[in-house]
Amino acid sequence: MESLLSLQEPRTPHTAGRAVVLAEQFFIITHQSCELWLKQLGADLDATAEALLPPCDTHDLELGLEFLLRSCELIRVLQQQLLVLEKLPLRYFAEFRSYLDTASGAQSAQFRRLTTLLGNSHHQGSLYEAFAAAVEYHGQTVDDVCRRGVESGVLHRLAEALVDLGNGYWHWKVAHLALVSKMVGEQGGTGGSSGVDFLARRVTRPFPELRRLRGKVHHP
């Protein structure tokens, strides 16, 4: 625990005043907490995919669902972290931002990994592929599962949890966009992007196929 608690070192000189140093510490702690939660989320999603993928000893749909439901909660926690950071006073952020140099959340390898697992509005990620393989293994199609709804049992609950997870990710992207807009306005990002415009183009809704098939319930 001591080594974990020694990793928050603001770069702001103490001469800038206590409030600025504390604001930078707040910024650092929020980012580090996100990385910790991303570690758990990535591991839980790996475990979900492993439990869904057939045919192997670890194939267990109920276990996969348990991991997936926890992941939905974790992504909500990640979104909440962003809302907390909205309480970063702008005047202090402006004072320490130059010390961040070119450091950016966009460098997070764990977040990139999440993108591979979840996919985006146009591409299915590896998690959906594992789900589709499980559905096929149990003699159904994803269309069947969406049409039959609760009659498909755990496969239906998995489909619903995937959409919840996708919406959680979407909410994270929107919350991040709102935070960035509040904190930098039209300024570019420390990672070299145009900032808000760049991020707005990256807001995305994972699991497009599930959304399309579920929507067919309105026109059976």
Q: In sequence order, what E strands does 133-189 have?
A: none
Tokens of 101: 């140099």
Q: Closest separation between CB of residue 210 and ligand HEM, Å?
A: 21
Chosen residue from 147, 191, 200, 211 binding ligand HEM by CB under 6 A? 191
Which of 209, 42, 27 shows the shortest CA–CA distance to 105?
27
Tokens of 164: 């919840």
Radius of gyration of the chain (CA): 20
Angle (deg, nearest 10), helices 109-118 and 126-137: 30
Site string for ligand HEM, 118-137 (x = CB under 6 A): --------------------
Chosen residue from 20, 52, 69, 183 binding ligand HEM by CB under 6 A? 183
Chosen residue from 63, 106, 132, 154 binding ligand HEM by CB under 6 A? 106
Q: Residue 26 corresponds to which amino acid? A: F
Under the binding rule (CB under 6 A), the answer on residue 105 touching ligand HEM is yes
Tokens of 83: 């809302």
Q: Closest separation between CB of residue 181 and ligand HEM, Å?
A: 9
Query: Which of the stretches 55-63, 129-137, 181-189, 205-213 binds ligand HEM when contact is defined by CB under 6 A?
Result: 181-189
Chosen residue from 45, 51, 180, 210 binding ligand HEM by CB under 6 A? 180
Tokens of 199: 């991020």
Rounded CA-CA distance 132/180 in Å is: 36
Q: Which of residues 23-42 bind ligand HEM (CB under 6 A)?
A: 30-31, 34
Chosen residue from 11, 202, 212, 216 binding ligand HEM by CB under 6 A? 202
Q: Closest separation between CB of residue 129 and ligand HEM, Å?
A: 21
* Cβ atoms of 134 and 59 closer than 8 Å: yes
Rounded CA-CA distance 141/146 in Å is: 9
User: By the criterion CB under 6 A, which residues form the site for ligand HEM?
Assistant: 30-31, 34, 81-82, 85, 88, 104-106, 108, 111, 176, 179-180, 183-184, 189-193, 195, 198-199, 202
